[in-house]
Amino acid sequence: MTSATWIAYIDGSALPNPGRMRIGGIAYAPDGASHRFSQALGHTGCNNEAEAVAAIHALTWLQGMGAREVLLHTDSSILAAQMAEPAAKPIARLAALYEQARALRAGFAQLEVRWVPRHKNTVADALARGEVAPADDAVDAAAMTSMA
């Protein structure tokens, strides 16, 4: 990664699990600016589905902001494994979502997905649970609802 790298943290939640899903994340631009998103999804599902939708949302959002190099952090070991090249053992029920997330790699010069422990992903977790509001520079979530 270089000085042009965007650093992002994402999370997805389903309460209860399965239940109502939300996604959230924060990205730090190379110039130090931070950008957040927090969105309730319009349907129910499991936490792994919410994590995958959070990745798709974040990668699409980052491409829209012109990011070419991204270090994406997730506290989902399953998502991190599914984003690896070559992909981990497929999870049939979520295969299409993971494939959509992996396909977004092509839009970046460099994309690295890293697993982090939950206690190092607190801002994204709070955003995904709707516990904090996104900042004024947040993405227009309405543009992303078609992914859910």
The pTM assigned to this predicted structure is 0.88
Domains of the chain (ranges plus CATH)? 5-142 (3.30.420.10)
What is the distance between the alpha carbons of residues 61 and 26, in angstroms, rounded to a whole number?
11
Angle at 103 between CA 108 and CA 26, to 5 degrees: 55
pLDDT digits (tens, 9 = 90+) for 73-104: 999 999 999 998 777 888 999 999 999 999 99
| Residue 119 in this model has a pLDDT that exceeds 70 | yes
